[in-house]
Amino acid sequence: MHPFRQAVEARDAAAIEALLADDVVFTSPVAYRPYPGKAMTAAILRGVMRVFEDFRYTREIAGADGRDHVLMFQATVNGRQVHGCDVLHVGDDGLIDDLTVMVRPLSGANALAEAMGAQFERIRREAADAVPPSPPAS
């Protein structure tokens, strides 16, 4: 079982974040642009944990080289059934450097987009608070 799956199933946000590379890229099923960076990805995943109900992984598929993984899941969002997958790529350092999420059906994707939209201001604040301030220019 992939450590990301274990952390998600345990709802352990700190363990999830520890598995992410600093330069991880998160590709959302409902947003056009990918989101770069560990702080933003971790904040998005915390938001997802707040909106998914009855979340469970149903299948895990690993690439032959152990660097690519697909974790199939089911959940409910605002009463809508969602089926999806987390597609992970692990870099040379063993950390997740790419995470793409896909969901279906359209009614579930729409419910997810609405629920995450309601979370997004909090997600932005959490991500901004996690990034250390830049040192003053000398």
For the stretch 5-39, pLDDT in tens is 999 999 999 999 999 999 999 999 988 899 999 99
Across the chain, mean pLDDT equals 92
- Give dist(CA 50, CA 33) in Å, integer: 22
Q: Kindly state whether residue 30 falls inside one of the protein's structural domains.
A: yes
Name the burial class of residue 130, with classes exposed (0-12), middle (13-18) and buried (19+) by CB atoms within 10 angstroms of its CB. Answer: middle
Q: Kindly state whether residue 100 falls inside one of the protein's structural domains.
A: yes
| Total number of domains constituting the chain | 1
Q: Is the pTM of this model over 0.75?
A: yes
Q: Kindly state whether residue 134 falls inside one of the protein's structural domains.
A: no
Please give the C-alpha separations between residue 69 and each of 3, 87, 119, in angstroms, as whole numbers: 11, 6, 27
Q: Kindly state whether residue 10 falls inside one of the protein's structural domains.
A: yes
Q: What is the pLDDT of residues 86-97, one digit of tens each?
A: 999 999 999 999
CATH code of 86's domain: 3.10.450.50
Q: Kindly state whether residue 133 falls inside one of the protein's structural domains.
A: no
80-90: strand order across its sheet: 35-36, 20-27, 96-104, 80-90, 68-77, 53-62
Give the pLDDT score at 87: 97
What percentage of the chain reaches a pLDDT higher than 70? 94
Q: Kindly state whether residue 88 falls inside one of the protein's structural domains.
A: yes
Range of the domain at 15: 3-128
Q: Kindly state whether residue 77 falls inside one of the protein's structural domains.
A: yes
Q: Kindly state whether residue 27 falls inside one of the protein's structural domains.
A: yes
